[in-house]
Amino acid sequence: TVLSGSSDGTVYEPSKVVIIGAGPVGALAALYFAKGGWQVTLYELRGDLRNPENRSLNFTKSINLAISERGINGLRSVDPELTESILEEAIPMHGRMIHDNTGKQSSQKYDVHNRFIRSIDRGKLNERLLDELEKLTNVELKFNHGLKKLSLEKGEAIFDRKLSNGAFESVRVEADLFVGADGAHSQTRQHMMKYVRLNYSQEYIDSLWCEFQMPPHPLTGDFQLDPNHLHIWPRQTFMFIALPNQDKSFTCTLFMPENMFKDIVGPETLLEFFNKEFPDVVSLIGEEKLIADYLKNQKLPLISVKCNPYHYRNKCVIIGDAAHAMVPFYGQGMNCGFEDVRTLWDHISTTLTISEALESYTAERHPDCVVINDLAMKNYVEMRASVTSTGYLMKKWFQEF
Ligand code: FAD
């Protein structure tokens, strides 16, 4: 059992933690606390995503994402076996594949030592963590519970529980520690601001994103592109990307300034645009599916959030997107959230008091998260433009030889 401390410095047994948000970061945090012997209750606004009826509720999230060593480390430190079994379902991506306007492809390796990132199904990863939590006797999962109010001095939270008839009831909950993993628009953060002088900034970039599915080859059933690359069609001010899935499809994303989306007023202008900018994509996805996906899928915003501190005394701490939502171009949002959990646990399990643990957690984590957040913003320019410049390619060439 990992011991943690009380505010007067005496070491005491782990106590009751309420985690708000059962996304990947909240679910991983629940696993750490549960394995450390805490009594864990995980509250999630939406229904259980393992129920197929609820899958469409998480419509604002990409289908797959890139997991890197940073995130894998976060998983491995709490459960190496689970990590290996999760990674069996991930697809290695050894480099970028750059697609030019003529359809020519050129590979740029990520690493001279052959290290790689992996494409993973976000929903399945989240499900695996929830399945694992369900096996533990000191964990309770509460779906359809949205945080409404946090009274941190009293150690009390109020949730709105959605009933099967659509009505809501108020649920009062007490805990020693509240962990906010409730995403970019975090209610936990919002309430914590009333207790601590929390500096906060947010920025929407002018690009939106829209998702498409590239099916397997209609005749062979195989991948239509090399599955071991992250594919990029860089076009200076916008870009299209594709990440492989286990079923041999690719999930593709168009990142583009809002005014360019507005210029696409119907199927004809959409095809005109794709035929000019991404001619190979039209045949790979198929005209009909391209149009259907574009009309069906939302064009969603991208937000970057910075705040400081991440905690309030020994009562509350925010992690993941709730603390530092970032634009996705460095592929580090979730990875960084997993690293938050590992770092937070390091502090909790080695510091005498929870106040000290949370304080040293903010002190260590905030500068790192600001840097990753800024790198993510800069990497948009790298991915959509710099990867095609001669200077960049020369630099890469020298690195590899
Ligand atoms: P979320 O995933 O947002 O989960 C928060 C949870 O809290 C949700 O389940 C939500 O329903 C719940 N919740 C919200 N409000 C309440 C409330 N009031 N009460 C209770 N529960 C609540 N990251 C990577 O590492 N690699 C990538 O390749 C990558 N690609 C991306 C591509 C795109 C297009 C986008 C948009 C993001 C990408 N990210 C990537 C970022 C990644 O998706 C996020 O960083 C990650 O989902 C954050 O996890 P989280 O658990 O902190 O928050």
Q: For a pocket test of ligand 1, which of 48, 54, 64, 65 has the largest count of ligand atoms closer than 8 A to its C-beta?
A: 65
Q: Among the residues of 56-116, which ranges form H helices?
A: 69-76, 80-87
Specify the amino acid at residue 38: W
pLDDT score of 238: 95
Give the least confident one: 55-64, 93-102, 307-316, 380-389.
55-64
Left (φ > 0), alpha (ψ -120 to 50) or beta: where does 377 sit?
A: alpha
Q: For a pocket test of ligand 1, which of 62, 142, 192, 377 has the largest count of ligand atoms closer than 8 A to its C-beta?
A: 62
List the domain boundaries for the chain: 4-87+120-201+306-386, 207-296
Rounded CA separation 131/135 (Å): 7
Q: Examine the pLDDT at 7 and tell me if it is beyond 90.
A: no
pLDDT score of 396: 52
C-alpha 28 chain-centroid distance: 12
The residue whose CA is least distant from atom 45 of ligand 1 is 333
Q: For a pocket test of ligand 1, which of 143, 231, 324, 334 has the largest count of ligand atoms closer than 8 A to its C-beta?
A: 334
Give 4-87+120-201+306-386's CATH code, choosing from 3.40.50.170, 3.50.50.60, 3.40.30.10, 3.30.200.20.
3.50.50.60
Q: Examine the pLDDT at 188 and tell me if it is beyond 60.
A: yes
Rounded distance from Cα 109 to ligand 1 centre (Å): 28
ipTM of the modeled complex: 0.99
Higher pLDDT: 351 or 22? It is: 22
Q: What is the mean pLDDT of residues 336-358?
A: 95
Rounded CA separation 401/396 (Å): 9
pLDDT score of 240: 97
Tokens linked to 370: 């600001």
Nearest to 281 by CA among 235, 327, 331, 247: 235
User: Which residues approach ligand 1 with their CB closer than 6 A?
Assistant: 20-26, 43-46, 61-62, 65-66, 71, 146-147, 181-183, 187, 209, 253, 320-321, 328, 331-335, 337
pLDDT tier at 63 (50, 70, 90 boundaries)?
confident
Residue 18 Cα distances to 40, 191, 198, angstroms: 6, 15, 21
pTM, whole model, 2 decimals? 0.94
